[in-house]
Amino acid sequence: MGKLVSTIFVTLDGVYQAPGGPQEDTTGGFAHGGWSFHYGDDDFGRFVTEVFDRAGAFLLGRRTYEIFSSYWPRMTDPEDPIASRLNGLPKYVVSSTLDSPEWSGTTVVGGDLAKEVAALKERTDGELQIHGSGALVRSLVDLGLVDTLHLLTFPVVLGTGRRLFVEGAVPTAFRHTGGRITSAGVSIQSYDTAGRPEYGSYELPEDA
């Protein structure tokens, strides 16, 4: 059985929308696309390569799938550690409207999300990886299906855009499993989900 692992880029104010380019996702009039580009140093590249080396299959939201499928099939170098895996490994896209995906190796996932994703985890060797796809990640965290979250926080505040965790998210605890800071200042932190939060108080007891 595989692990469901999310790798996602966010700003200091939690925005995940359009990290890769100005036209990647302009929904809602978003004008800050491409905010991660200038932080892509060697440290960043090494981490991303490490992640893709562990991939067994990919699970993507519809918007991220469309962004990836417009670019990666054109990258045909078999030595490229990212393109070779994205093009060669199974891909699953969550959508209720996509009928005939053109990217080779793609299967559309619909219906009961919890049941379908649990079944994908069961039959995946290695990691079932989610890249980007913030709304899907949030839903799967709420369902208790995400095992590991790689959160890459970039030193920039945008003020607008889609945020990863919003009002109404299911309370969830995480256990820190590792981290590093790139030379450009990106904080890369890895967490395993750990059930529900525990609560306490800093107030002194009445008889203290």
Domains defined along the chain, listed by start? 3-193 (3.40.430.10)
Q: How confident is the model over 97-113, as a mean pLDDT?
A: 91
Residue 208's pLDDT is 60
pTM over 0.75: yes
> Residue with structure tokens 């990106």?
186
Of 23, 24, 52, which Cα lies nearest the Cα of 133?
Answer: 24
pLDDT band at 163 (very low <50, low <70, confident <90, very high): very high
pLDDT given at position 100? 84
pLDDT in tens, 121-162: 999 999 999 999 999 999 999 999 999 999 999 999 999 999
Q: How far apart are CA 10 and CA 65, in angstroms?
A: 18
Cβ neighbour number for residue 163 with a 10 Å cutoff:
17
**In percent, how much of the chain has pLDDT > 90?**
89
Query: For position 1, what pLDDT does the model report?
Result: 77
Q: Please give the pLDDT value at position 96.
A: 87
Indicate the average pLDDT of the chain.
94
Give Cα 207 to chain centroid, integer Å.
48
Taking the C-alpha atoms of residue 8 and residue 134, their distance in angstroms, rounded to an integer, is 7
- Length of the chain measured in residues: 208
Question: Is residue 22 helix, strand or coil?
Answer: coil
- What tokens were used for 56? 């067994």
Edge-to-edge strands, sheet with 91-94: 106-109, 91-94, 55-61, 127-131, 3-11, 148-154, 187-193, 174-181
pLDDT tens-place string over residues 10-41: 999 999 999 999 999 999 999 999 999 999 99
